[in-house]
Structure 1
């Protein structure tokens, strides 16, 4: 049958694919297999159930709020990765559902699950879980302790030893209280605004959640009645310095004498001594947090009336440390000078007298001025004034100064060589860094990534990095500094070798040019295998004549330890720098072992034989001189041309400056990390070389 409509064709294709195995479905789909809003009692088992189709073995992430708590690939042999702090509660079922065992209050939150399958999309579901406890020991408290007619407010507040409230209701004489101008129902409190005698009565609170309920009662009596209070401060001052002490006194005439309480910030202050009953409030070591309005409340228990009066206390505190100055670039033409001196109460007034006599502000001042050459290198002062102290700071704006770039090298997860160049000229305002490749500006792209002060280049081919010179420019409104960077092929600039006294351990050290791209090193050796005797090994001779890799090091390494050497045998070492798979010119060859020179006994024998050898040579030399004198047809001495198949021309060396590693010994830096050993260099210093004259 032929389908005439393309849209209809798509429907048929998906319908057919839906009959295939699960891995062939059109798109990953995720649905809830239970309620998305869940309630539970502490200790219960809860399941946030999901189901999916359209993909096999999708990867899933469960999150509590925005924090991942479970990650897993369904049907994977690897167990789910569950946050350690939740491993005793959370479980994941085979279909990806999230299970809570013995759930606690801490798990009340929103949850989300995301499933992803490459090529088949992703899907997300959201859930909520609220965990409750049964109510225990519900109590009511009031603030202040007694309701006073004419006071600002009276508050009833409930508290529970255990239990999560889903709903609370307040009743007055069996009539439910609604928030209005007289009452405010706020979370755990009932506030009565400007209470009066009609508010005396029975107050009832009911609490409910899906698993329990509780009811408590309180009888409130509203009191009223004294004259206006008289307030006194001692010592009497316009303000108080932080750390000092003062006393507040409140007296009110009444019959019987009223009880006096002090309030600050809406809370009753208690002195915990008898002075409070006399209306005296003692403030010791006063702090800025105690700056504000204090209220004296006088309550007459007999007449059930109250009166209040306020007093304002000012507490000053010295600013922290010293003023701080800064400067930064603003737009393309302005410098923004900023000065601040925080921590004072009240805030210090700051100003830049050298820039403006009229600009000043409390705590912090920002002043914009046109950037000119005269400002470069010129200190600018900020003065700060506080009632308790004066301060000053200086800031100097200048053009960028010469700097040295900083380079790092590595290999990314895709196997590309990574070169990161950093440029920073430490001046104010902070310079803006830009980059050139040759003469062209560098921007973000597939091979390049630019941050505030860094340029990162990624490529598989080492030759790409060597084609261009890079220029780093640090620029601010007062000037510019440039630095050219020429990247070099992998190279070793210097190397050396140290041995221990026994001659069984050597330590190779080396250095690399600062701009040479190196991501790793091959430590190579020529000589017998380490720790093996060659008396009965026919392979020893052929292997000892070639360099072979015995260690591989990271690009950050600058030393290598070689163990298990035979002090009676000769070894040669060299280091090959690498940029991923590209090899640079090896370092100089360093030899260790008997082949380094003659033994002491050999030197002594040669020294003893030199006089005899000289005498023996005089006789044949005389005969040779006589024969040469008499021979009219003296032939010139002919010497065979010296050939050395091991020598390389400069052209060959240049062509081998970068050679690609191959064969079975190729080391992939992405697949493994070579063993790195770190140890102190041996204190042994090898003896100086001995020059020996040999007579033939």
Structure 2
């Protein structure tokens, strides 16, 4: 405590001594200061000097640092050359006043430079410079990633590249408006990022790059792909439904880029007859009613939209033919089901009547839930045949169609027989009228018994001169096969329609085999051949008469004398055979030997008479 009190008493004296010493040392303190601004901008390839001024000591040691690395050192006014770092040779020079000069400075020398001056007994002083080396901005390109912006994507990026230059400032603009960092835009490095691009981002983007020595602006038009939007489908003229034969137009369109061309699909197939989404339908039919699909595809984004429109085409009921189906119920009653359906849209509602009275569901009549079927049940076939006419009426909002019919008994309208190549198997086919009541068929045969599988005759089942049942078929059957016939024997077949216990008229008889006399077709052929034979005989007789007249006329012509040479030839020739048919009634030729003529008259050879060739006459019966 005594020592501290003594120091406090000497404080004024110490302050006075320190002031005197400071005042005397101020005149010899080492000081360094920059000449000009410490921020220096320079163009690459030019000379630039970081100038300093020092005082307070002579010939200090000067050391320049780039960042923390020394690039050169020198003791001022010595005969030794400055010591320059290897990467600064030819570029860096330390001046006599300690300044640092850059020759043809490259851009890589941009950085922070610090100079330190040191003098023994005077301490160390320093000053720091910032050197920016700029190149002229050249060959700037602006690209996008991806090539097109797509609505709904996560991001879209614009980025600039340049072959040369140093950018001190960049400005991004959209349609001339400066952009700032926000939730939608991010400017980082050489890029502009657009988050969640949409169709409103379509337009002109630009970036301006600047430094103290140059500037350049590049533009880029950005296209945003979008759509197709929800299609708009219309039918002209709009109606709740269309009648068969009407004409209408279906149109489909949707916003999007690029514009999608609509396709119309009906029944799973692309319809060809449309243009720019407009489908013309003329003289529409009920088959053209249904769901039409408009499909749009963006070829670039592969986005697809579809929309359906239902087209209703109605028509009044058409003419129709009732269908009758007959069966036998478990209680032995004949059940006749009449089916009446007319092509109509919407589906026609069917009503039933018998005579002048409406038919209602009861014990005898049953009408199906869709009203298209009427079921009639009875034990006796006469109930169906003697009942008044039935009428079914098909009706929809566009009109109605009535059909009146009378049920018929078991009847066969047509039948045929088809044998195989060997004549051992036949197939019988038959048809019944649409309103015939039939519950089954008996296949009957007359002739020898059928062969067994061993080739022998099967056990006789009846007289060969009487028809016997060989098969029974249900009411819905329309064919029957008969096997193992003897091709050398004659068989006759017929079909008997049945309505439970009531038989109808049998079909025509079908015969197969060599037969037991002239068949009906053979007799018909003979009957047709007799008139033809008579006509042929008359024509032949007329031909003979014409030949006769011809030869008779020829024999009446003047004869010329025959020369002796001809006579000799004639005597040598064999005697011609006489043909009574041709010579009968003809005069013999004149005797030319009895004519006395001079040789001059006989100088020319006269034609010799040659009897005609024999004619064979045949009569066909």
Task: Provide the TM-score with structure 2 as the length reference.
Answer: 0.36
Which of the two has higher C-alpha Rg? Answer: 2
Task: Provide the TM-score with structure 1 as the length reference.
Answer: 0.33
